[in-house]
Each structure stands twice: as C-alpha cells, then as structure tokens.
Structure 1
Amino acid sequence: MVKDEAKLRNKLRKISDALSKLFEIKRREKSDPLDILIATILSQNTNDLNSHKAFKNLKDKFPDFESLANADLREIERAIKVGGLARQKAKRIKNLLIELKKKHGGFDLSFLKDLSVEDGIKFLTSFKGVGLKTAGCVLLFGFDKEVFPVDTHIHRILNRVGIVKTKTPEETFFAVGKLIPDKLSYHLHTGLIKFGRAICKARDPLCGVCPIYKICEFEMKSFYKKKTKDVEVNKNSALEFILLDEV
C-alpha cells in the first residue's frame, strides 16, 4: 500500500469512529435482496420516508413478486405514487422482474452471494434503471459484501474532507472503493449519509458543530464555523431514517 493510501485509510477510520459516536449506527438483519433492489429503485429522486411509503404500499398491494410482475402498470403506478416518478419506476420494476425470471427462472437474487463484487455489479447494472449506487446497495445491504455505494451526500463529503477529488458520484465510487478499511463499508456508508443530511449539508454546512472539523480540508470551513458555532445538531427521525435498514 502506498503511503498516501495508508493516510487516507486512517482518515476514513477516524471519520467512521466520529460518526459512530454521533449517530446510532446498528446493522439490521438482512432482507430479501430483491426487495432491497426494488426499494432502492423507488428511492431514486426522492427522500427515504416517501420511498418507504411507496415500498410499503407496493408490498401491501402485491405481496409476492409473481403478482407484481403480472400486474397492470397503472396499478403499480398508483401504489407507488407517493414516491414520485411513478410511471418511470413502475415500468422499470415490472420489466426487471420479467427479465429476471426469463434469465434465472424465478424471482431470486441469492446466487449473487457467490459472485465477486465486480460480477455482482456487472449483473445488476445490466438491468435498465439500475446504476452503480443501486447495485452497490443491493450487495451491501442484501449480502453484507465489502462494497461502498456512493450517493450525492457521500460524494460531496468525501470531496470536502479531502479523501477524493472527483466530479461525479460514479467517479467517487471507483476512486474510494479500494480505500475503505475492511469491515467498515456499512458503518461508513450509513454514517456519511446521516452526516450529510444533518451537518455537512450542500448549502450552509454546520462546520461549527462538525465532529471531523480538524481533519477536514474544506476551504470554507472557517467561514461556516463562525456562522454556525452556536447551532445545535438536528438529529430527528427523518434525518436518521435509512430506507434500506427498514425494508
């Protein structure tokens, strides 16, 4: 391992330790990976609370994957309307299930546990509407594999603190994957999401109450520290709610 990589790994460990102290980060029991895939599709371009409502509505209306795959698109749209982009997501979910059954004879992703992370991502991203983040979430939350999904919060934070210098979440995914310390993917992923919602916001970050201020390389941190030094961290249930822990 090169010296710079060792430093970055150590920095990531410090970040993970700090966020674990600040937020409640407990690993839940793993759910059906196909449920996780569908829930992650529903989470695209909306918040976790609305996507969770959409997922619950979908499961109540269609309790098994066979009935969902055979359902009329308009019925699926009505069930998931609360999550936004209902027409687009309904079509993706239905087509995914139909294609999965054609390829593997059923609605089961358990075979992914025996594949490498790279092969698992390659398989999942072969479906329309499934990108790197969605595929990574299925492997992390469904199989506890050492993969580190990157959303907009994580992309923003890792650039601010100086772990990477990238322009997109996809670039961050490939740049940071080899740097994540062993067994820290889940805690660091969920911790950074909560951190991005509550403190390291896109606008007006709360640098005055940031637990990793000293190791952060954000060039505007002194300005925002003065501006937010007396602000209290808002850790309400909506900010801490992680959809894939509740599927």
Structure 2
Amino acid sequence: RIIARLEETHPDAVNAGAPIDRDPFLVLVSCILSLRTKDAVTTTAAERLFELAKTPQEMLELDQETIERAIYPVGFYRKKASQIKEISREIFERYKSEMPDEIGELLKIRGVGRKTANIVVTQGFGKPGIAVDTHVHRISNRIGIVSTKNPDETEFVLRDLLPQKYWTSFNSLFVRHGQRICTPISPKCSICPIKECCDRVGVERCR
C-alpha cells in the first residue's frame, strides 16, 4: 500500500533509470558524480564527460585536469576526478574493462559502497537490488517499517521484508518522497500520502 501511494504521488520516480546511460560503467561514474550534487548538475556534467570517454580505457587516456573541467561544478570535482581515474584503472587492470555484475565483487573496487553497488547491478545489469541512501534509511525508520542504525543495516532488513519485485523502485520512490515531502527537518506530514501508515518516529515538528 505504501509503495502504491508513493507511485501515485511521484510518477516520475517510477522505474527511474540511470541519469545518462544504462551501461554499467557509466552508471558507476554517474553515481560518483551525484554525491552531494543536484540531479540536474550531475546529468549535465555526466553528459560532458561521456562525450570525451565512455569506457575505463578511454577514461584513463584523459588527464585529470580534463576530467575536472568536464565535471565542474559538481561538488568535490577534483576529488571525484581523481576517484574516476582510480576506479577506471582498477576496472581496466583487474577486470579487463568488464564491469562485475555482483555486489560482492563491486565492493572490492576501492571507493564503491553498498548503495553504489546496488545501483550498478539494478540500473546497469537489470538485476534486483536495494540502494539505501540517507532518504531511504531515514524514511524507512520514520514510518516504522525498520528500526536500524545505518543504511547498510536498513538494506539487509528491507531485503527480508520487501518482495523482490519492489526492490528497484523502492529507492527512487523514497528519494523523491524525501526530497519533496518527507524532509529531514519539519516534514510536510499534512500532505503526505502515507501519513496513515506512518509512526512518525523522531518527528518533533512537522508542516
């Protein structure tokens, strides 16, 4: 019921895919760019970068300054340019430019966490996974379907709790809901489509 109501409220989040391309490597790079950066800025930066390089080998042929110029003004663009180079080198050398399609193998790549690994397998390979970011973790605890301390713990509980067919859409729906209605501070409970299902855990003030 919760998912159905969120789908009605946020139709643009239903089956939301990777921002630029469903190629697993490009999904991974897009995830790196998106950290602490608005979606529109991430999309534009990714488009500029992918005009220059679309494979680990092509990315390695770019110098770091070129990557920096392409992805500016994403947050921490210098650090992200360096990370993109390092990850490209690791994928090229360890995996012969073939992106691994298992979460456990993706986690061996330096700088790749569980959220990013889940996004790569779902958007890049069409496999089931639950990407848990701060929005998913916060809202899942707020409405009372989990009681967890961190996003990784939330992911494992949700894997047991949710039917697999909902895994992929769960992230995009909860992210949109967290951006628009169920905000970290003073959520808009008065217009929330799932307020009857919500325990409002930790909510001290709302609109």
Question: Shared fold (TM-score greater than 0.5)?
Answer: yes
Partner deviation per Cα, 1:40-81 (whole Å, 9 max, x = no partner): 011112222221122111112335542211211111111112
Deviates most, 21-30 or 122-131: 21-30
Aligned to 1:21: 8
The yes-or-no answer on 1:86 pairing with 2:83 is no
Query: Per-residue deviation at 1:37?
Result: 0.6
Equivalent of 2:50, from 28, 45, 59?
59
Aligned to 2:131: 149
Secondary structure of the residue that 1:126 maps to in structure 2?
A: coil
* Cα distance between partner residues in 2 of 1:17 and 1:155: 19
* Cα distance between partner residues in 2 of 1:46 and 1:23: 21
The yes-or-no answer on 1:104 pairing with 2:95 is yes
Aligned to 2:36: 45
* Cα distance between partner residues in 2 of 1:221 and 1:77: 40
Q: How many correspondences in the alignment?
A: 203
Partner deviation per Cα, 1:53-111 (whole Å, 9 max, x = no partner): 22111112335542211211111111112112112111111111111111222x232x5
Secondary structure of the residue that 2:128 maps to in structure 1?
A: coil
In structure 1, give the amino acid aligned to 2:113.
G
Asked if the contact 2:115/2:133 (under 8 Å) is kept, the reply is yes
In structure 2, give the amino acid aligned to 1:186.
T
Asked if the contact 2:143/2:200 (under 8 Å) is kept, the reply is yes
The yes-or-no answer on 1:132 pairing with 2:114 is yes
Aligned to 1:214: 196
* Cα distance between partner residues in 2 of 1:60 and 1:66: 14
* Cα distance between partner residues in 2 of 1:179 and 1:15: 13
Identity level (%):
33
Q: Is there any run of 5+ residues in structure 2 with no aligned partner, and where?
A: none
Query: Per-residue deviation at 1:219?
Result: 4.4
Asked if the contact 1:161/1:215 (under 8 Å) is kept, the reply is yes
Deviates most, 88-97 or 204-213: 88-97
Larger radius of gyration: 1
Task: Report 1:175-194 matches (<5 A).
Answer: 175-194=157-176
Q: Which runs of 4+ in 1 moved over 4 A?
A: 219-223
Task: Report 1:109-128 matches (<5 A).
Answer: 109=99, 112=101, 120-128=102-110
Flag the 1:222–1:168 CA change in 2: closer, same or farther, 3 A. closer
Deviates most, 89-98 or 58-67: 58-67
Partner deviation per Cα, 1:176-221 (whole Å, 9 max, x = no partner): 2221212111222211111111100001100001111111011466
Asked if the contact 1:200/1:207 (under 8 Å) is kept, the reply is yes
* Cα distance between partner residues in 2 of 1:136 and 1:220: 28
Q: TM-score, normalised by structure 2?
A: 0.90
Q: TM-score, normalised by structure 1?
A: 0.76
Query: Per-residue deviation at 1:137?
Result: 0.5
Asked if the contact 2:14/2:172 (under 8 Å) is kept, the reply is no
